[in-house]
């Protein structure tokens, strides 16, 4: 069962300290109250409950990875104003960072959470730099950034050839690793590569050049 509001606030509120100890039904009401200021829709956002409701009486921590009752952590992990929206793809990272800040300094648990944070952050940096470099290789170093960020006029589809977009994404992932939810924000950049008629061979060559060190590091790590 899930809760959505379109801003990511519901997702991050659903990970607040204390909430995982609640049952599914009570959690829905708790998240709704925290997401929409004063239970009205003038500020904040609405929350909808959807999905399988057959396990509504079960405790949420069974599905969210840790039981707050067994963790020394404050019950105020996230208390951001109702008008602050967080992108859905950043909700998990924001939760982990706030949890890290609340844990006792120098504890093994805090170091473990920090290591967990570093992995997605490093991959995000890699995705950003690799897609930027691919753009410079296929469009030229001067035009690359602007071509990747170009937005089509209203009424036009994101891409003319959806099969091309799928192939370009697969090429990128084969050389540079999974886009993850975070990397999906760059789908427009891949669409612009297709819309510009860049040959797939050139896209493959650019991806291999941009991510050669990444593949070497991944293979070396897997061999250890």
Tell me the C-alpha to C-alpha distance, in Å, between residue 54 and each of 1, 19, 50, 170.
Answer: 9, 19, 11, 37
pLDDT at 96: 86
Residue identified by tokens 């941009």 is 210
pLDDT at 61: 55
Helix (H) or strand (E) holding 44: none
pLDDT at 41: 53
Q: What are phi and psi of 4, to 5 degrees?
A: -130, 150
pLDDT at 99: 85
pLDDT at 152: 92
Q: Model pTM greater than 0.85?
A: no
The alpha carbon torsion through 118, 120, 85, 87 (nearest 10 deg) reads: 170
Q: Of 136, 129, 142, 146, which Cα lies nearest the Cα of 188?
A: 146
> In which residue ranges of the chain is pLDDT below 70?
1-50, 53, 55-86, 215-224
> Tens digits of per-residue pLDDT, 59-114?
655 555 555 555 544 444 444 555 556 677 787 888 888 888 888 888 899 999 99
The alpha carbons of the chain give a radius of gyration, in whole angstroms, of 21
pLDDT at 76: 46
Residue identified by tokens 């990397």 is 183
8 A C-beta contact, residue 94 and residue 12: yes
């Amino acid at each position: 069962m899930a809760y959505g509001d379109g801003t990511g606030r519901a997702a991050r509120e659903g990970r607040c300290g204390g909430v995982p100890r609640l049952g599914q039904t009570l959690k829905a009401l708790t998240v709704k109250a925290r997401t929409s200021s004063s239970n009205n829709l003038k500020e904040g956002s609405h929350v909808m409950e959807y999905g399988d409701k057959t396990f509504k009486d079960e405790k949420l921590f069974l599905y969210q990875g840790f039981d707050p009752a067994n963790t020394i952590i404050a019950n105020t992990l996230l208390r951001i104003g109702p008008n602050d929206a967080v992108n859905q793809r950043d909700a998990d990272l924001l939760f982990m960072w706030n949890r890290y800040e609340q844990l006792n300094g120098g504890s093994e648990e805090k170091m473990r959470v920090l290591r967990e944070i570093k992995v997605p952050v490093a991959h995000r940096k890699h995705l950003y730099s690799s897609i930027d470099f691919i753009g410079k290789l296929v469009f030229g170093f001067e035009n690359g950034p602007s071509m990747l960020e170009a937005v089509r006029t209203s009424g036009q589809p994101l891409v003319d050839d959806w099969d091309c977009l799928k192939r370009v994404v697969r090429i990128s992932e084969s050389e540079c690793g999974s886009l993850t939810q975070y990397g999906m924000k760059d789908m427009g950049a891949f669409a612009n590569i297709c819309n510009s008629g860049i040959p797939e061979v050139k896209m493959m060559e650019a991806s291999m050049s941009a991510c050669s060190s990444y593949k070497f590091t991944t293979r070396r790590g897997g061999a250890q």
